[in-house]
Chains A and B, each alone.
Chain A
Amino acid sequence: MPPRLNLVLAHKLEAAPLIAQFGLQQRSASPLVYAHEKGLQLIVGGEGVPAARSAVKYLAGEQGEDSNTAWLNIGIAGHQSRNIGDSLLANKIVHRASGERYYPVPLFHDFGADELHTVDKPEYDYPDDVAYDMEAAGFFSEATQYTTMELVQCFKIVSDNKAQNADLVSAESVKQLLADNLKTIKQLVEAMLDLQSSYAEFTAAPEQLQKLLVNVHLTATQQAQVKRLLQRYQAFGLQDQLDDLLQANGISGRELVQRMETTLRAAGA
Chain B
Amino acid sequence: MFSAIYIEKAAKDCARAQSILQKLPLLPVIEIEQYGEIFNRSNQNFRLQKQKPALILAQKHGNKVLPTPPGYGFEHLLESGQQPDPEQDRQGYYFSHMLNCVYDCRYCFLQGMYRSANYVLYTNFEDFTAEIIAKADNSGSVFYSGYDCDSLALEPISGFCDYFLPVFARLPKSVLEIRTKSTQVRSFLEREPMPNCVIAMSFSPEAVARAMEHKVPAVQKRIDALGRLQQAGWPVALRFEPVIASEDTLADYKTLFEQIFRTIDPSSLHSSSLGEFRLPVDYYKRMVKLYPHEPLLARETVRSEGMISLATQQSFSLQALEELLFHYINEEGYYRCA
The residue that B48 contacts in the complex, of A92, A199, A231, with Cβ under 8 A, is A199
Residues in A whose Cβ lies below 8 Å from that of B247: 268
Given A91-B28, A103-B38, verify A199-B45 contact (CB < 8 Å).
yes
Given that A91-B28, A106-B28, A107-B51 are known contacts, is A150 also in contact with B44, CB under 8 Å in the complex? yes
Question: Which of B79-87, B94-102, B207-215, B294-302 interfaces with chain A?
Answer: B294-302
B44 pairs with A264, CB closer than 8 A: no
A267 vs chain B, min Cβ distance (A):
11
Enumerate B38-53 residues with CB–CB distance to A below 8 Å.
38, 41, 43-45, 47-49, 51-52
User: Closest Cβ of chain A: how far from B243's Cβ, in Å?
Assistant: 18
Q: How far is the CA of A195 from the CA of B3 in the complex (A)?
A: 15
Of the residues A115, A150, A202, A235, contact of B290 by C-beta under 8 Å: A202
Given contacts A91-B30, A144-B43, A269-B300, whether A107 and B37 have CB atoms under 8 Å apart is no
Q: Known contacts being A91-B30, A106-B28, is A195 close to B48, with CB within 8 Å? A: yes
Is there an interface contact between B30 and A107, defined as CB atoms closer than 8 Å? no
CA distance A1 to B47 in the complex (A): 25
Known: A235-B293, A269-B298. A107 touches B28 (CB 8 A): no
Interface size on B (CB < 8 Å)? 33
Closest to A202 in B: B292
Residues of the A chain whose Cβ atoms lie less than 8 Å from the Cβ of B103: none
Chain A 101-142 interface residues, beta-carbon cutoff 8 Å to B: 101, 103, 105-107, 109, 113-115
Q: Determine the chain A residues whose CB is within 8 A of the CB of B37 once the complex forms.
A: 101, 103
Nearest to A101 among chain B residues (CB) is B37
* CB-based contact B45/A232 at 8 Å: no
Determine whether A179 belongs to the interface, using a CB cutoff of 8 Å to chain B: no
The answer, yes or no, to whether B225 is at the interface (CB within 8 Å) is: no
- B52 in contact with A115 (CB, 8 Å): no
Q: Does A149 count as interface, using CB distance less than 8 angstroms?
A: yes
Interface centre among A101, A106, A195, A268 (most CB of B within 10 A): A106
Q: How far is the CA of A91 from the CA of B3 in the complex (A)?
A: 11
Query: By CB atoms of chain A within 10 A, which of B38, B45, B49, B288 has the most?
Result: B45
Across-interface contacts of B47 in A (CB, < 8 A): 202
Give Cα distance in the complex from A250 to B289, angstroms. 31
Instruction: Closest A residue to B247 by CB, please name it.
Output: A268
Q: Is the CB of B32 within 8 A of A103?
A: yes
Bound Cα distance from A269 to B51, whole angstroms: 29
Residue pair A106, B293 in contact (C-beta under 8 Å): no
CB pair A106–B300 under 8 Å, yes or no, is no
| Complex interface: chain B residues within 8 A of A269 (CB) | 295, 298-300
A91 partner residues in chain B, CB cutoff 8 A: 4, 28, 30
B54 on the interface (CB 8 Å rule)?
yes
Contact A106 B298 (CB under 8 A): no
Q: In the bound complex, do residue A149 and residue B41 qualify as a contact, i.e. CB atoms below 8 Å apart?
A: yes
- How many angstroms between the C-alpha atoms of A228 and B293 in the bound complex? 9
Contact B44 A106 (CB under 8 A): no
> Is A249 interfacial (CB 8 A cutoff)?
no
Known: A150-B44, A198-B48, A202-B290. A106 touches B3 (CB 8 A): yes
B72 is an interface residue with CB less than 8 A from chain A? no
| Contact pick for B300, options A105, A149, A151, A264, CB 8 Å | A264
Taken together as a complex, chains A and B put the C-alpha atoms of A101 and B69 apart, in Å, by 38
Q: Of all chain A residues, which has the CB nearest B311?
A: A265
Residue B257 lies at the interface, judged by CB distance under 8 Å to chain A: no
Interface residues of B (CB under 8 A from A): 3-4, 6, 28, 30-33, 37-38, 41, 43-45, 47-49, 51-52, 54, 247, 288-295, 297-300
- 9 nearest CB pairs, A to B: A235-B298, A232-B298, A231-B292, A106-B4, A113-B28, A150-B48, A148-B45, A106-B3, A149-B44
